[in-house]
Amino acid sequence: MSAYVSAFELFSIGVGPSSSHTVGPMRAGRDFAARLRDSGDLDRVVRVSCALYGSLGATGIGHGTPDAVVAGLAGLDPETVDPSAVRGAWSDRPAGERLPLDGTRPIDFDTGDVMFEPRTRLPGHPNAMTLVARAEGGEVVSEETYYSVGGGFIRREGEAPRVQATPWPLRFDSAAELLALCDDRHRTIAEAARCNEEALRPEKEVAAGLDRIWDAMSTCVDAGLRAEGVLPGVLKVKRRAGQIRAQLENAAAAGGRELPGEWLGAYALAVNEENAAGGRVVTAPTNGAAGILPAVAMYWWRFLADSGLGAGNAVTPNGELVGSALLGFGDAVAAVSFEDEAAVAEANRRRGIRRFLLTATALGSLFKANASISGAEGGCQAEVGSACAMAAGGLTAVMGGTNGQIENAAEIAMEHHLGLTCDPVGGLVQIPCIERNAVAASTAVTAARLALRGDGSHFVSLDAVVETMRQTGIDMSHKYKETSEGGLAVNVIEC
């Protein structure tokens, strides 16, 4: 076995507001409907019910969980669905409207078929749900329990652990093993991740897939910066990213200096406001922490990529490749004939973003395997803390940092999120989640800067911090694990 998780699983394109409470339940509903189809039982089903347990039951309405379950039962895929088709699929469902199970089988369904059981916690995971399909007369056709384990990943009860058909060429279960592996093979962390990805798909497909992830992230940033109005839910939180964008643009137009740090915060707010509105986002590694990596990557793209800081591996205007081993995907870039500096700069940035994402993937895999990326399991340290560490490592990589400095940056970022609770006010991914992403993006940049000023050696290892995060999550009261039963959630008046 290996800790490594593919970038195309860790960074999945989906919908807001939550990877564990929206994307995961939607995938579970879709999987349940597909199993009924594949078993030949679909035409026997006349009704489906769903029980939401633990955290899903406690904050499911605020996270859009019932809407997601209904959309999934209808056969919709979170990666391709129009987000508007998910919003209101349960909450605004007209009385008597039939549900197209798996997209084809009309069945009776009403809002009461989704039941909330927040006080019941199944042993498999705090995010649990049971789906039951019945035939005429009430006969149970199928019953399945699913766990939404964070980041949009789901696990079906009784299902054997998934075994990777193609073993990863470069296997590691800890940061120490990863560093030793890279040292032995004279590879960067990004190159190690790239080698694993290419065991499953050709180099060009890996590059294109990473570009697709980045395009979805940057599109989300832009959408959030252009949006206005109030976010859905009882809190009536006003969007701020667009207003901040306008202020920064006006200041620049008036001859003021650029303010990269303030843009960094605006980028993070933009993504998490889009997420809170149920828009198209990329889990990174979750939706609640989805703004941190795109914000830090966009900060590098806009303010640092062409500054010469960490840009030593580049493509020259005549198409000559310099230092291809460090950034990867060199053959594909070197074959392009560039006619202008803008195209060269774009290609260099793209290659840097791939390195950023691959580095973050290797680090995120360690958190997922050895601790948790689920707020319902480990508190917000598991979501925002993990994302901050991944972003810090990614930024250090594209700034030319060594593997030791990358590990140091991730350790710094995670160490200072230990014990962070998950206590969303009103069960909505808005307060304190949106601002928390902006603060964590700034922390990621600070961690990278501190690591780059050192030589990679440090007292506390990343592995020690990951293990500490795991232990802290176990010790943490369930009140602070996405149930909205403690912290700000009970000390802030919702309306």
CA proximity to 275, closest of 293, 290, 263: 290
Region of 304 (left: φ > 0; alpha: ψ -120 to 50; beta: rest) is alpha
User: How many residues does this entry show for the chain?
Assistant: 495
Question: pLDDT value at position 318?
Answer: 37
Q: Where are the beta strands (DSSP E) in 70-164?
A: 99-101, 105-107, 114-117, 127-134, 140-150, 153-156
Tell me the whole-structure pTM to 2 decimals: 0.89
CB atoms within 10 A of CB 473: 21
Q: Which 3-state string (H, E, C) describes 423-478?
A: CCHHHCCCCCHHHHHHHHHHHHHHHHHHHHCCCCCCCCCHHHHHHHHHHHHHHCCH
CA proximity to 53, closest of 36, 84, 30, 28: 28
CB atoms within 10 A of CB 241: 27
Phi, psi (rounded to 5 degrees) for 286 = -130, 175
Question: pLDDT value at position 151?
Answer: 87
Question: pLDDT value at position 398?
Answer: 98
Q: Which residues of 119-150 are buried (b: 16+ CB within 10 A; e: fewer)?
A: eebbebbbbbbbbbbbeeeeeebbebbbbbbb
CA proximity to 26, closest of 80, 70, 63: 70
Omega cis (within 30) before 432: yes
* 14 in Cβ contact with 152 (< 8 Å): yes
Q: For residues 301 and 227, give the distance between their C-alpha atoms in angstroms, rounded to a whole number.
A: 22
Question: pLDDT value at position 311?
Answer: 42
* 360 in Cβ contact with 265 (< 8 Å): no
Q: For residues 283 and 18, give the distance between their C-alpha atoms in angstroms, rounded to a whole number.
A: 9
Query: What single string gives the DSSP state of each residue in 355-400?
Result: HHHHHHHHHHHHHHHHS---HHHH-HIIIIIHHHHHHHHHHHHHTT
* 460 in Cβ contact with 412 (< 8 Å): no
Q: For residues 398 and 301, give the distance between their C-alpha atoms in angstroms, rounded to a whole number.
A: 10
Residue type for position 14: G
Tens-level pLDDT at each residue, the chain (495 residues): 799 999 999 999 999 999 999 999 999 999 999 999 999 999 999 999 999 999 999 999 989 999 999 999 999 999 999 999 999 999 999 988 999 999 999 999 999 999 999 999 999 999 999 999 999 999 999 999 999 998 899 999 988 765 455 589 999 999 999 999 999 999 999 999 999 999 999 999 999 999 999 999 999 999 999 999 999 999 999 999 999 999 999 999 998 888 999 999 999 999 999 999 999 999 999 999 999 999 999 999 999 998 754 443 433 333 333 333 334 454 444 444 445 778 888 899 999 999 999 999 999 999 999 999 999 899 999 999 999 999 999 999 999 999 999 999 999 999 999 999 999 999 899 999 999 999 999 999 999 999 999 999 999 999 999 999 999 999 999 999 988 899 999 998 765
* 19 in Cβ contact with 288 (< 8 Å): yes
Phi, psi (rounded to 5 degrees) for 134 = -125, 150
Question: pLDDT value at position 342?
Answer: 81
Residues 6+ apart with CB under 8 A from 369: 3, 5, 173
Residues 6+ apart with CB under 8 A from 354: 190, 194, 207, 210, 211, 214, 327, 328, 329
Q: For residues 25 and 65, give the distance between their C-alpha atoms in angstroms, rounded to a whole number.
A: 7
CA proximity to 294, closest of 4, 13, 3, 5: 13
Instruction: Evaluate the CA torsion angle 85, 90, 96, 99 in order and state its sign.
Output: positive
